[in-house]
Amino acid sequence: MAAKKLNIKDKYRLLTRDLDWDFSYEDRKKAFPYEEFEGIKITDWDKWEDPFRLTMDSYWKYQAEKEKKLYAIFDAFSQNDGHLNVSDPRYVNALKLFLTGVSPLEYQAYQGFAQVGRQFSGVGARVACQMQSLDELRHVQTQVHAMSHYNKFFDGLQEFSHQHDRVWYLSVPRSFFTDARSAGPFEFMVAIGFSFEYVLTNLLFVPFMSGAAHNGDMATVTFGFSAQSDEARHMTLGLEVIKFMLEQHEDNLPIVQKWIDKWFWRGTRLLTIVSMMMDYMLPNKVMSWKEAWEVYFEEAGGALFKDLARYGITMPKYSEVIEKEKEHISHQAWWTFYTHGHATGFHTWIPSDEELDWLSEKYPDTFDKYYRPLWELAKEKEAKGERFYTTGLPQLCQTCQIPMLFTEMDNPNQNSMRDTLYKGERYHFCSDGCCDIFEEEPEKYVQAWLPVHQIFQGNCGGPDMGDILSEFYKINVGADNMDMKGSPDEERWNKWKGKA
Amino acid sequence: MPVYALKPNYKGERMDRVENFGGNQLVYFGWDEHRMFCAAKAFPLPPSTPFAAVMENVLPEAFGQHPEFSQINWDTAEWLLNNEPFKPQMNATLESQGIDHKSLVRFKTPELKGYAGAGV
């Protein structure tokens, strides 16, 4: 008599590996056309070790339970006017940046993992990627739901999806993911599965979720907890893919190393936004960006690369530049947003005196020397009634699409600028890292949709900047943008709190 | 290899060809060691623009908000065009002195050290 219930091993076999079939009359290569063009050699997909033995039936069960708890808390948060418990209305601006810049990346991750979950010819890898794809879709949904309560009370959250595809600073995270998604399946896995999920995601989630906890935002904290078990699975998958490629064929090593170099550089550039959230946008600080970088990249990442050394993998190229930049980038980024605060979908402000002192303490070698004078100048201008909004539009990096705000680490007063000629046209870069990436695949990056250039080509409406902001970006001009001081957000908050 | 693509001879569409700018070309201007401006700035200009018009209109628009801008001694300013030393000819057009599409023009003002002497 057959057992009523399958044991875990049999269930796992039937619901993953046995979902595959052989190709008896079709050419297997035609069924998986993306598998070879990147140059990665797989000799035996059966050697794939499933990083987590999860089957679809238990996946649904776990996720449904988590979802039930999560939405109960969202309801309670909403019914109890949870938004009134945040530390300071400035905090909500970090959420605006998260919703417009990061949540849509979860959606892009869902699309990307669905694609590789189709294109790998190994069934174990396919099933794992399909599950991650579903996780990512769930993450974008729960993030949108977590923040929908804030959207009822604060400006700047209402057009996140429209803005992600258009607004100048959002082209940075957007193009990061479209770069990964338009690569082959193996590069996508190194880009997102390994570099981003395994090594860099901690720098995004840990500070952000701790930041939410430190600032009274229970909705976001709860989302973070609910996503944590998924993230652990994603990290395991990212690492498994790397090890699998390296164990399959020695020719894969230089390709994998090249991708690691590229995606660490791209990832750290992307995290510039997070550095600024941590050091400037959280009213109650968790730790400085520099400290986070030391804990999560230098220590944790360093140990990982030591482990990968047995395969011949070395630390990502330009790690030594990144190590120096940890003292600078958050300050440079917030100054950029502050001075372009008329063109942002969230509010910006001059740090308070206590915050300036905290920054001096956390960055003893750089803050007073290079960055405090910027804020002294801003204060001086503000006192004269001339809050500083810079004129014109900045030069952008062709690869990371960030304004060319980074500086030379041997002379932090001077912007770092690189360029190269390709087919007679000049291309500009913020760094050697971004220039190298372009030079490896110029035909890819000549297609960059650079917001500043698109504006000047007349593809974003206008030419009046106010029209571009309100009609093309759908920024509610005068409410979503400009300084925190005097904003409708601030006015409403003071009214709720009974302040003058 | 210019790109790793599924199909051989894949070509990308160059998004920023000069033809796309309606008769203008892009020129970037940067003031070295003055971080009040986070980056160099981009301007669409007709290639026939004389450099004198850059001095009169573009640079004040780009950098006039800086407290030191009015003190610049243009006689001692040092210029770079696409990383090479350069001496702008005021009456010559951008085009005729080699300032082509997506050129970067930088200037350094040796007497001016920025706000509070801090490179700001």
Residue of A nearest to B82 (CA): A419
Rounded to an integer, what distance in angstroms lies between the CA atom of residue B91 and that of residue B53? 9
Q: Could you tell me if A312 and A258 are in contact, meaning their C-beta atoms sit under 8 angstroms apart? A: no
Report chain B residues whose CB lies below 8 A from the CB of A404.
Answer: 39-40
Q: Are A121 and A18 in contact (CB under 8 A)?
A: no
Q: What is the dihedral of CA A187, A265, A303, A252, to 10 degrees?
A: 30
CB contact under 8 A, B40 and A415: yes
pLDDT computed for residue A1 by the predictor: 57
Q: Top-level CATH class of B21-117?
A: alpha beta
Asked whether the beta carbons of residue A394 and residue B65 sit closer than 8 angstroms, the reply is no
pLDDT of amino acid A260:
97
Interface of B with A in 56-115 (CB under 8 A): 61-62, 64-65, 67, 82-83, 100-104, 114-115
Report the gap between the CA of B30 and the closest CA in chain A (Å): 9
Q: What tokens appear for A463 in the block?
A: 């030419």
Alpha-carbon gap: B11 to the closest alpha carbon of chain A (Å): 6
- Cβ A52 vs Cβ A59: under 8 Å: no
Q: How many residues does chain A have?
A: 500
CATH architecture for residues A31-39+50-349+388-496: Orthogonal Bundle (1.10)
Angle at A58 between CA A57 and CA A63, to 5 degrees: 105
Contacts of A382 in chain B (CB under 8 A): none
Interface test with B, best of A119, A427, A447 (most B CBs within 10 A): A447
User: How many interface pairs between A and B have CB atoms less than 8 angstroms apart?
Assistant: 158
A285 within 8 A of A275, measured Cβ to Cβ = no
**Amino acid symbol at A116:** V
Q: How many CA atoms lie within 13 A of A204 on its CB side?
A: 27
Report the residue from B38, B82, B115 with minimal CB separation from A336. Answer: B38
Which candidate from A413, A414, A456 shows the least CB-CB separation from B26? Answer: A456
CA distance A453 to A438: 18
Residues 6+ apart with CB under 8 A from A99: A143, A144, A147, A157, A160
Would you say A371 and A407 are in contact if contact means Cβ atoms under 8 Å apart? no
> Is the Cβ pair B119, A427 closer than 8 Å?
no
Residues of chain B found within 8 Å of residue A452, distances taken between Cβ atoms: 42
pLDDT tens sequence for chain A (500 residues): 566 788 888 888 888 888 888 889 999 999 999 999 999 999 999 999 887 778 888 888 999 999 999 999 999 999 999 999 999 999 999 999 999 999 999 999 999 999 999 999 999 999 999 999 999 999 999 999 999 999 999 999 999 999 999 999 999 999 999 999 999 999 999 999 999 888 788 888 777 889 999 999 999 998 888 888 888 889 899 999 999 999 999 999 999 999 999 999 999 999 999 999 999 999 999 999 999 999 999 998 889 999 999 999 999 999 999 999 999 999 999 999 999 999 999 999 999 999 999 999 999 999 999 999 999 999 999 999 999 999 999 999 999 999 999 999 999 999 999 999 999 999 999 999 999 999 999 999 999 999 999 999 999 999 899 999 999 999 999 999 999 999 999 999 999 999 86
Distance from CA of B86 to the nearest CA of A (A): 17
- C-alpha–C-alpha distance, residues A126 and A289, integer Å: 36
Contact criterion met (CB below 8 Å) for B27 and B43: yes
> Alpha-carbon distance A363 to A358, whole Å?
8
Which one of B32, B39, B114 has the shortest CB-CB distance to A394?
B39
Comparing C-alpha atoms, which of A477, A96, A145 is closest to residue A273? A96
pLDDT at A197: 85
What average pLDDT score do residues B62-76 get? 97
Contacts of A426 in chain B (CB under 8 A): 82, 100-104
Q: Which among B63, B81, B120 is the top mutation candidate for probing chain A, defined by the most A β-carbons within 10 Å of its own β-carbon?
A: B120
Which is it for strands A411-415 and A407-408: parallel, antiparallel or unpaired? antiparallel
Q: What pLDDT score was predicted for residue A366?
A: 98
- Which among A335, A377, A428 has CB closest to B115? A377
Site from A395, A418, A428 to mutate, B interface, most B CB atoms within 10 angstroms: A395
With beta carbons under 8 A apart, name residues in chain A contacting B115: 373, 376-377
Q: Strands, DSSP E only, in A8-151?
A: none
Closest-CA distance of chain B to residue A168, Å: 14
User: Side-chain half-sphere of A147: how many Cα atoms within 13 Å?
Assistant: 26
DSSP character string of A275-317: HHIIIII-SS--S-HHHHIIIIIIIHHHHHHHHHGGGT--PPT
Q: How is chain B split into domains, by residue range?
A: 21-117
ipTM tops 0.85: yes
User: From the CA of B105, how many Å to the nearest CA of chain A?
Assistant: 12
Say what the pLDDT of residue A3 is: 60
Q: Mutate which of B7, B15, B113 to test chain A, going by most A C-beta atoms within 10 A? A: B15
Is B4–A34 a contact, with Cβ atoms under 8 angstroms apart? no
Kindly determine whether residue A339 and residue B12, on different chains, have CB atoms separated by under 8 Å: no
CA distance linking residue A273 with residue A55, whole number of Å: 36
Q: What is the largest CA-CA distance in chain A?
A: 88
Q: How close is the nearest chain B Cα to the Cα of A222, in Å? A: 37
- Residue A457: which of B116, B110, B15 has the closest Cα? B15
Contacts with B22 from chain A: Cβ below 8 Å: 457-458
Please give the pLDDT value at position A285: 94
